[in-house]
């Protein structure tokens, strides 16, 4: 009996949908849509007792502001904006296995000191933007710097090491130091980068599903489908800021975690 093999050509990630959301005390919102999606706000309620008269936070990509939300107490308004992220040069496409420099950090754009939390989400979607939960978020490698950033292992669902059985989409990080407000001359203070590169792992091309079918004449057709063919990866980030005043209670109320704050302001999860 002869075998007749039919194989699809290897597929590549079709694009990058990068969605970023910011969240400040008394603020919560998300990002929806496709690549270059604008931020969509859904709520401005919060249970924490927090002084927001001059709080603000900005997300930086490679040293440039790509999104911010600042509260102006005098006008009682939020000033906000968002931009594009991970935009490749025209004509260039994302390549599997290639590491792209991508430094993401946070700036205190308000006028009071604050603590900062970042939530990272990574997952795969089809051409219509529907999540593909059977595809591994671990194939989206966001390289953490671990430079003053604490991973909340209890809240994190993503794989954090080769032997880690988790394969969820979320990583939760806390900056371990208070982020000072702007000083004299408008000098703004920023965190260290929480990631410094993005890579789609080469392993995606080895993930295949093979099916066999035999017709009435005894010919067997082997069909190989590349699991990630036609999929796009999504990375989301949420940035929260909480005042340093009465920090333990404010963080517990806003973020639901217990922390210890040292005399120099250094933060530690309990």
E-only strand ranges, the chain: 3-7, 16-22, 28-31, 39-43, 56-61, 64-72, 77-82, 99-107, 114-125, 140-144, 149-151, 170-175, 195-200, 208-214, 220-226, 232-243, 259-261, 267-269
Asked whether 106 and 58 are in contact (CB, 8 A), the reply is: yes
Q: Which residues lie below 8 Å from residue 192, measured CB to CB, with a gap of 6+?
A: 105, 145, 147, 148, 149, 175
Q: 53 or 143, which is more confident?
A: 143
How far apart are the C-alpha atoms of 142 and 174, rounded to whole Å?
16
Report the DSSP beta bridge partners of residue 87. Answer: none
- Length of the chain, in residues: 270
pTM: 0.77
Q: 26 or 202, which is more confident?
A: 202
Provide the percentage of residues in the chain whose pLDDT is more than 90: 33
What average pLDDT does this structure show over 198-210?
A: 88
What average pLDDT does this structure show over 3-30?
A: 32
Residue 59 confidence (pLDDT) above 80: yes
Predicted pLDDT at 53? 55
Q: 102 or 83, which is more confident?
A: 102
What average pLDDT does this structure show over 46-68?
A: 69
Q: Any idea where the domains of the chain sit in the sequence? A: 15-202+231-269
What average pLDDT does this structure show over 141-145?
A: 95
Residue 155 confidence (pLDDT) above 50: yes
What average pLDDT does this structure show over 220-224?
A: 80
| Closest to 20 measured CA to CA, from 87, 97, 93, 114 | 87
How far apart are the C-alpha atoms of 137 and 265, rounded to whole Å?
34
Asked whether 114 and 243 are in contact (CB, 8 A), the reply is: yes
Tokens encoding 43: 């709520």
pLDDT tens for 236-245 read 888 888 888 8
Predicted pLDDT at 83? 64
Tokens 């991970």, residue located:
86
């Amino acid at each position: 009996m002869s075998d007749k093999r039919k194989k699809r050509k290897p597929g590549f990630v079709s694009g990058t949908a990068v969605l970023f959301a910011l969240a400040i005390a008394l603020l919560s919102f998300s990002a929806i849509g496709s690549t270059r999606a604008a931020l969509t706000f859904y709520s401005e309620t919060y249970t924490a007792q927090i002084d927001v008269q001059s709080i603000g936070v900005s997300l930086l990509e490679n040293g440039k502001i790509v999104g911010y939300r600042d509260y102006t107490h005098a006008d009682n308004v939020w000033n906000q904006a968002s931009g594009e992220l991970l935009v490749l040069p025209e004509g260039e496409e994302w390549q599997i296995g290639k590491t792209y420099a991508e430094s993401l950090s946070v700036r205190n754009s308000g006028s009071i000191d604050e603590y900062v939390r970042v939530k990272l989400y990574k997952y795969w979607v089809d051409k219509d933007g529907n999540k593909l939960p059977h595809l591994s978020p671990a194939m989206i490698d966001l390289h953490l710097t671990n430079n003053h950033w604490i991973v909340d292992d209890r809240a994190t669902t993503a794989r954090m090491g080769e032997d880690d059985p988790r394969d969820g989409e979320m990583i939760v990080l806390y900056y371990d130091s208070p982020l000072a407000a702007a000083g004299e001359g408008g000098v703004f203070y920023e965190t260290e980068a929480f990631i410094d590169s993005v890579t789609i792992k080469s392993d995606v091309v080895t993930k295949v599903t093979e099916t066999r079918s035999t017709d009435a004449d005894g010919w067997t057709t082997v069909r190989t489908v590349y699991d990630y063919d036609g999929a796009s990866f999504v990375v989301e980030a949420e940035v929260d800021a909480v005042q340093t005043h009465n920090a333990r209670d404010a963080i517990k109320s806003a973020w639901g975690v217990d922390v210890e704050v040292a005399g120099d302001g250094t933060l530690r999860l309990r």
